[in-house]
Amino acid sequence: MVRPLGFLVGLGFITALVLAILTTPLKNEPNVAHEFHKHPKHLKLASDGILLPHWDKAQLQRGMQVYKEVCSACHSLHLVAFRDIADLGYTEGQIKTFAKGFQVPSINPDTGEPATRDGLPSDYFPSPYANEVAARAANNNALPPDLSLITKAREGGKDYVYSLLTGFQNPPANLPAELKPGTGLHYNPYFANLNLAMAPPLTEGQVTYADGTKATVDQMSKDVTAFLVWTAEPKLIKRIQVGYAVFFFLLIFTVLTYLSYRNIWADKKH
């Protein structure tokens, strides 16, 4: 009974699928934006891979400077606290001073009125806008995303962020009119629909690095991307290091279990 019924059900599904094949066009709708879209360029960082990766602290410090002086005008970093930047090689005193440079929202203890106070190491990087409406109002109705997780939250990760920052250019001459950037939009072939609300954020020499590194657009993009790799996963290096210890411990465990398995089965053909 099961087999004849199953046979009929199977024929039903197969007929529906054959009809689906016959009625589905084999040609895709042409997607012009696809032709102009570019794959991200590869960015090599000290924190890459699993062969002894490390944080390049000088680069992360430069990257944080770029974030603070450029990106933070529009983008928040709300998952990162000032205390976290100890990872970047700052001392406790430096972190206190750094935090003090920010005003964070608070409450006047006498009146209960909203107020601000100096930042503490336990505070998080403050957001540039009070809320989403304010952010959109200031940005031609576009919402600048929070950057804390950005290198994990986009396909292509750090490569994508680096490519986007360095990818602003004039639209190619053969770009169809409907793909041309409208008012307030900027052409960038690394962005999914080619036109991005963010204006090119970096210009040559925009920041002055304390360590004397030349602040080219490419250099600043690399540095800030490296910083955003750290903000997305501050435990990345520790994770790899612990991983090695656990892996080698288990390797020894597995070799021992294999030897005991061979030993126990030695007299048994199987």
Partner 1 sequence: MSFPWAKPYEPTHPLMKWMDEKLPIPRLVYNATGPGYPVPRNLNYFWNFGVLAGAALMIQIITGIVLAMHYAANADVAFNSVEHIMRDVNAGWFIRYAHMNGASMFFIVVYLHIFRGLYYGSYKAPREMVWLLGVVIFLLMMATAFMGYVLPWGQMSFWGAQVITGFFSAIPLVGEPVREWLLGGFVPDNATLNRFFSLHYLLPFVILGVIILHIWALHIPGSSNPTGIEVKDEQDTVPFHPYYTAKDGFGVGVFLLVFVALTFFSPNTLGHADNYIPANSLSTPAHIVPEWYFLPFYAILKAFTFNFLWIDAKLWGVIAMFASIALLFFLPWLDSSPIKSSNYRPLYRIFFWILVADVLLLGWCGMQPAEQPWVILSQLGAIYYFAHFLVILPIVSRIERPLPMPNSITEAVLAKHATDATSASATA
Binding site for partner 1 (CB under 8 A): 2-3, 6-7, 9-11, 13-21, 23-28, 50, 79, 84, 145, 148-149, 152-155, 157, 192, 232-235, 239-240, 242-244, 246-247, 250-251, 253-254, 257-258, 260-261, 264-265, 268-270
- Given a contact cutoff of 8 angstroms between Cβ atoms, the answer to whether 252 and 62 are in contact is no
Place of tokens 């699928």: 17
Is 66 or 232 the residue whose CB approaches partner 1 more closely? 232
Is 77 or 220 the residue whose CB approaches partner 1 more closely? 77
Closest contact distance (angstroms) between CB of 8 and partner 1 is 9
Closest contact distance (angstroms) between CB of 135 and partner 1 is 14
- Given a contact cutoff of 8 angstroms between Cβ atoms, the answer to whether 207 and 215 are in contact is yes
Is 58 or 79 the residue whose CB approaches partner 1 more closely? 79
Other CB atoms closer than 10 Å to residue 105's CB: what's the count?
A: 12
Closest contact distance (angstroms) between CB of 162 and partner 1 is 15
Closest contact distance (angstroms) between CB of 215 and partner 1 is 29
Alpha-carbon gap, residue 130 to 180, rounded angstroms: 33
Residue 209 in tokens:
């690095």
Other CB atoms closer than 10 Å to residue 68's CB: what's the count?
A: 18
Is 140 or 257 the residue whose CB approaches partner 1 more closely? 257
Alpha-carbon gap, residue 60 to 161, rounded angstroms: 15
Helix (H) / strand (E) containing 104: strand 103-107
Alpha-carbon gap, residue 167 to 182, rounded angstroms: 18
Closest contact distance (angstroms) between CB of 241 and partner 1 is 9
Alpha-carbon gap, residue 260 to 177, rounded angstroms: 72
Residue 261 in tokens:
């398995």
Is 50 or 130 the residue whose CB approaches partner 1 more closely? 50
Closest contact distance (angstroms) between CB of 157 and partner 1 is 7
- Given a contact cutoff of 8 angstroms between Cβ atoms, the answer to whether 79 and 149 are in contact is yes
Closest contact distance (angstroms) between CB of 29 and partner 1 is 8
Q: Mind giving me the DSSP string for 117-159?
A: EE--TTSBPPPSSSSHHHHHHHTTT--PPP-TTTTTSSTTHHH
Is 161 or 224 the residue whose CB approaches partner 1 more closely? 161
Angle, helix 57-69 to helix 217-232, in steps of 10 degrees: 100
Is 130 or 264 the residue whose CB approaches partner 1 more closely? 264
